[in-house]
Amino acid sequence: MQQDRIEALIDDLAAGFLMLDGDAIDIPAAGKLLNAMEELIAEADKREMKPLAGVAGELKSLLEDIVLERIGPAEGTERFTRGISEMQAIVHDAAVAEDVDEAGDRDDVQAVVSRERDVSLPGGETAVEEETESESGEPEFVIQDESLMRDFITESLEYIGEIEINILNLEQNPDDKECINAVFRPFHSIKGVSSFLDLTEVRDIAHELETLLDRARNGEISVDSQIIDIVLEGADTLKVMIGSLNEVLEGDRSRPLYPDLTELREKMAGVDSGEEGGYEKESVKKLGKILIDDGVISEDILEETLQKKTDEKRRIGETLIGEGKATPKHVLSALRKQSKQVMETSTVRVDVKKLDDFVDMIGELVITQTMIKQNLVRLDSADRKLMSDLAQLSSITSELQRTSTSLRMVPIRQTFQRMARLVRDLAKDAGKDVVVAMEGEETEIDRNMVEEIYNPLVHMVRNAVDHGLEKGEERASNGKPERGTVKLSAYHKGGSIVIEISDDGRGLNAEGIFRKAVERGLVSETDDMGEQDIFKLIFMPGFSTAEKVTDVSGRGVGMDVVKQAVEKLRGKVEIRSAKGEGSTFAAFFPLTMAIIDGMMVRVGNEKYIIPATAIRRLIRPTREHYTNVAGKGEMLNVMGELLPLLRLYDIFSVEPLYRDPWDALVVVVDAGGRSKCILVDEVLEKGEVVIKSLGGNFGSLKGISGGAILGDGSVGLILDPEGLFELEETTAV
């Protein structure tokens, strides 16, 4: 009875194979045959018909080779037919003898099939190689399809960027196949397209890197820092190569200039296979460990299973389930714990320009609507229906505005990962062992801000690695772990995104900073300064506490640049530090460059907006606060500090309401490392305004960063405090 199923399967195979007999292989038919063959193997295994399973296994490989065109159809057909007859004979013998085990040892036949298989050559492959190889010798470099090449360059560079990000994930999860695949895939895609575009060198390098990663994926080699370094170097090399193609495209050169690839190739060749299956074992242990921790299996069982496992190719989970030591549910839950859950969101790629225009138009919509509302109020319209409709409209537009702004928001993750790579490189150069921790990578920031915040962050990160963290020995002697930590965190606070860069290094030395500042003449010895104020001294131009300035960052140059860059973005930097425990630099950035949180002030008939981040305080001075020091100009005493007075109406030539400081209001503004008192007639309100560019005609006007349309439809100018200070300093001699 049981034999019937096997006989039926073999008959099916014989019949099905006739369909393969043609000039080209029928792939779907071959697929069915493969499935039938697998069923046959399973059936044979179940009945312990080893010879049958053996022949069937060989035939399955043969079939695969035919499908992959490694064997010509004629040769394949002949061998397949013989194999089928052999199987029929085995089944027949078994039926006669009624004893499966004695069905005759058919090793001889099996050997015939496999011997022939070994001899067969992978014909198709070599042909492809030769063909493209000869093309590389072409003397002239011709771009056949310019637009395709352009697409290729853009997209490839984008993909290489992804490699850089994903490789950091890989470093942290070296045995996560999905992580390897995420790095593998871009190389693979680049290789694919470059082969179509006849970019032999690019294709070859991408192929070699892909092969390296493929070996990692198959567990032949384990992903260690050596591999990661090679892949990063490979990505950089590809970037250079593709960049050079771009030069050709732009007409800057006649043929691409590729870097010397020998070194990279040597490194790739130098990756030894290491101990066999080391990668697999590691991941296996982890799963086993989770199962032990979950109380599913005991350590003894794990050991036992691992020993058995060495001669099988099954994974530990499968083996445990197979032996009934663990239920699939337990293994599955352990596997889930092992692999990080990846959140998948479906996305649409949109041109940033379109998005910007969209957000901009919604800004206009909000303004127009506000103007209509104001007009209605002025007309004293009593139409209640109209007013309620308008209220409805305004709630829709504000929701629309919120949504449109959020469209442009991207998680800060990518920036952090770039930083993490930087830390890694810097730590290596400095000979320090540093681990990067991240928190709040999902915090969102305006896409347009991402590039802007990059430079100041780089400086802070460099600072943390080069100066914040001590060398391993020093740390050890202070009872700290030798490996230093740089932590990147991001969160929202008010209307700002706060990015913190902390290290667990030596911390700022307040005493040292103060002494240095005195030496530099920045402060006087007798100044009584709080710790916070002393920390802020490192932001002053020309300040340096680093004994040794490395080529990547001299702190003195760095920190005032950081402050300026952050302030340019209307942000600010704060420092927290404890000696011996580390420092935290917290940079506050506005969430978007499209909206500014500011204070609206009035001078005469003009309205100005002062960025909220620059405002220190608001005072109403008395006559006693005012001094006019010869040579130093007008000063105001603000809480014991003499600060220069800046008259906006002088700079912008408007007629003010008040000229005397004690009649007017004074806004104390910090910018570019100095503070000044800006004289205004009145403070109107504080709030968010949408920034409008003043348009090309005005270029960049010093002292003004843009315009804003205010609620009543009038226009206010947004002040750029630092530019304003400079403007005042150059005009008032």
Residues of the shown chain interacting with other proteins in the complex, contacts defined by CB under 8 A? 24, 26-31, 34-35, 38, 64, 67-68, 124-125, 128, 132, 145, 148, 151-152, 155-156, 159, 181-182, 184-185, 188-193, 195-196, 207, 210-211, 214, 344, 346
Contact 504, 584 (CB under 8 A): no
Q: What's the closest the beta carbon of residue 74 comes to other proteins, in angstroms?
A: 18
Could you tell me which of 491, 688, 700, 724 has the C-alpha nearest to residue 589?
491
Q: CB burial class (10 A; 0-12, 13-18, 19+) of residue 413?
A: middle
CA distance 690 to 150: 36
User: Can you tell me the distance from the alpha carbon of 179 to that of 168, in angstroms, rounded to the nearest whole number?
Assistant: 9
Residue 262 vs 346, nearer CB to other proteins:
346
Query: Rounded CA gap, 645 and 677, in Å?
Result: 5
Give me 11's structure tokens.
Answer: 């008959």
In the bound state with other proteins, the residue whose beta carbon lies nearer, of 64 and 201, is: 64
Instruction: Give the C-alpha separation, 375 to 200, whole Å.
Output: 67
- Residue from 212, 196, 205, 277 nearest 234 by CA: 205
Helix/strand/coil for 724: helix
Min separation Cβ 61 and other proteins, Å: 10
- Which tokens go with 176? 């996560």
Whole-angstrom distance, CA of residue 250 vs CA of residue 245: 9
Core vs surface per residue 93-108: b (16+ CB within 10 A) or e: bbeeeeebeebeebee
Q: What is the 3-state secondary structure (H, E, C) of 265-301?
A: HHHHHCCCCCCCCHHHHHHHHHHHHHHHHCCCCCHHH
List C-alpha distances in Å: 668 to 12, 297, 671, 673, 683: 91, 69, 10, 13, 13
d(CA 359, CA 397): 12
Least separation in angstroms between residue 181's CB and other proteins is 8
User: What minimum distance in Å lies between the beta carbon of 69 and other proteins?
Assistant: 9
| Rounded alpha-carbon distances, angstroms, from residue 238 to 70, 260, 264, 265, 430 | 32, 11, 11, 13, 26
Whole-angstrom distance between the N-terminal and C-terminal Cα of the chain?
111
* Nearer CB in complex with other proteins: 157/654: 157
Compute CA 562 distance to the chain's CA centroid, rounded to the nearest angstrom. Answer: 23
Residue 707, both tokens: 């315009």
Q: Which is nearer to other proteins, 23 or 473 (CB)?
A: 23
310 vs 345, which CB is nearer to other proteins?
A: 345
Q: Are 180 and 217 in contact (CB under 8 A)?
A: yes
Least distance (Å) between residue 151 CB and other proteins: 5
Name the minimum Å distance from CB 244 to other proteins.
Answer: 18
Residue 564: helix, strand or coil by DSSP? helix
Least distance in Å: CB of 32 to other proteins? Answer: 8
What's the min distance (Å) between Cβ of 188 and other proteins? 6
* Minimal distance, residue 237 CB to other proteins, in Å: 19
We find the least distance from the C-beta atom of residue 444 to other proteins, in angstroms, to be 22
Query: Can you read off the two tokens belonging to residue 346?
Result: 């479906």
Query: Which residue number, 69 or 116, has a Cβ lying nearer to other proteins?
Result: 69
Between residues 148 and 732, which has the closer beta carbon with respect to other proteins? 148
497 vs 566: CA distance, rounded Å: 12
CB of 558 to other proteins, least distance (A): 38
With respect to other proteins, which residue has the nearer C-beta, 215 or 286?
Answer: 215
Alpha-carbon gap, residue 612 to 163, rounded angstroms: 39
Whole-number minimum distance, CB 251 to other proteins, in Å? 21
Contact between 665 and 683 (Cβ < 8 Å)? yes
Identity of the residue, 124 or 512, whose beta carbon is nearer to other proteins in the bound complex? 124
> Residue 455: enclosing H or E segment and its boundaries?
helix 447-463
Report in angstroms how near the CB of residue 136 gets to other proteins at its nearest: 14
